[in-house]
């Protein structure tokens, strides 16, 4: 849009209004992809639930097969619950966290709580989960910081091997609190590493599905880190393990 500036009926200048629409278009595109992915991801378990229920309602399932059928419905329904929880969490973060309360959060305390909550999962997967914390507080949103740490530690356990380890730590380096989650798990192939933070991206779709992955965990983490003006980096070697480092400013 342009408007001439006239002084005493003479054109003296021009006001030009240029709008950069590329970012807007990209966001629009991402939103459309996200909606399509959400629909697909929700339809898959729902179709399975509907199919099993239909066969059961037609009396086509023998009494001894009732239990496995019910278990399948239960599993798919749980998958939907997990997906919906992740989608709600992402859309809350999309609103730029305006509705969250910010406070001083002792990151080490949060890490230790999370590690305690995840010990049963670690034991079940035969993974040794340990933590090391130094006092480091960041101005932040407690719940979001909890989710960041939880998702990273949960992945480090889920994508591990029996007898493996997960070492989670919080240390202070200069004016940053540095959270590190290092595992000795299956690792991520180099070419996939830049993509794992994308929404719904899973390296091995079937494997991730079996262990209950939605592909949303790391995008929630990345969003949460951005809300705290932090940085996230990933180092990984196939079959050796993965280390994810989050640096959060302390002021």
Beta strands in the chain (DSSP E): 2-7, 10-16, 103-106, 128-133, 137-140, 165-173, 176-183, 231-237, 241-249
Q: What is the DSSP letter of 61?
A: S
Q: How far is CA 149 from the centre of its chain?
A: 10
Please name which of 191, 236, 205, 200 lies closest in space to residue 218, comparing C-alpha atoms.
200
Q: Which of residues 61-80 bind ligand ADP (CB under 6 A)?
A: none
In the complex, the smallest distance separating the C-beta of residue 39 from ligand ADP, rounded to whole angstroms, is 18
Interface mask (CB under 6 A) for ligand ADP, residues 21-60, using x and -?
Answer: ----------------------------------------
Query: Which structure tokens are listed for 59?
Result: 């009396």
Report the alpha-carbon distance of residue 96 to residue 86 in Å, rounded.
16
Interface mask (CB under 6 A) for ligand ADP, residues 116-155, using x and -?
Answer: -----------------------------------x---x
Q: How many CB atoms lie within 10 A of CB 74?
A: 11
Report the alpha-carbon distance of residue 181 to residue 160 in Å, rounded.
12
Non-local (6+) Cβ contacts of 110 within 8 A are: 142, 145, 146, 149
Residue 161 within binding range of ligand ADP, rule CB under 6 A: no
Applying CB under 6 A, what is the total number of residues that bind ligand ADP? 23
Return phi, psi of residue 61, to 5°: -110, 125
Q: Which range in 19-27, 52-60, 63-71, 212-220 contacts ligand ADP by CB under 6 A?
A: 212-220
Q: Which is nearer to ligand ADP, 24 or 240 (CB)?
A: 240
In the complex, the smallest distance separating the C-beta of residue 207 from ligand ADP, rounded to whole angstroms, is 7
Interface mask (CB under 6 A) for ligand ADP, residues 170-209, using x and -?
Answer: -------------x-xxxx-------x----xxxx---x-
Q: With the C-alpha atoms ordered 157, 163, 164, 167, is the resulting torsion angle positive or negative?
A: positive
Residue 159 within binding range of ligand ADP, rule CB under 6 A: yes
Residue nearest to ligand ADP according to CB distances in the complex:
213
Q: Which is nearer to ligand ADP, 108 or 215 (CB)?
A: 215
Q: Which is nearer to ligand ADP, 52 or 159 (CB)?
A: 159
Residues that bind ligand ADP (CB under 6 A): 151, 155-156, 159, 183, 185-188, 196, 201-204, 208, 213-219, 242
């Amino acid at each position: 849009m342009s408007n001439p500036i006239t002084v005493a009926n003479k054109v003296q200048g021009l006001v030009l209004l240029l709008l950069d629409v590329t970012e807007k278009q990209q966001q629009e595109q991402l939103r459309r992809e996200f909606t399509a992915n959400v629909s697909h991801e929700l339809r898959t378990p729902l179709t399975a639930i509907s199919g099993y229920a239909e066969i059961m309602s037609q009396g086509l399932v023998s009494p001894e097969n009732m239990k496995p059928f019910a278990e399948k419905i239960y599993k798919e329904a749980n998958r939907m619950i997990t997906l919906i929880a992740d989608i709600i969490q992402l859309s809350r973060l999309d609103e730029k966290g305006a509705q969250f309360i910010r406070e001083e959060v002792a990151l080490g305390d949060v890490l230790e709580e999370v590690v305690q909550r995840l010990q049963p999962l670690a034991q079940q997967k035969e993974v040794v989960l340990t933590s090391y914390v130094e006092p480091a507080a960041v101005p932040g949103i407690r719940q979001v910081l909890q989710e960041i740490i939880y998702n990273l530690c949960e992945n480090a356990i889920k994508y591990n091997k029996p007898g493996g380890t997960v070492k989670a730590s919080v240390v202070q380096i200069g004016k940053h609190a540095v959270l590190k989650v290092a595992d000795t798990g299956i690792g991520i192939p180099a070419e996939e590493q830049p993509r794992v933070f994308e929404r719904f991206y899973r390296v091995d779709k079937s494997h991730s599905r079996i262990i209950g992955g939605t592909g949303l965990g790391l995008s929630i983490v990345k969003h949460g880190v951005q809300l705290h003006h932090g940085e996230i980096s990933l180092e990984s070697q196939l079959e050796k393990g993965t280390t994810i480092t989050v640096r959060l400013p302390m002021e």
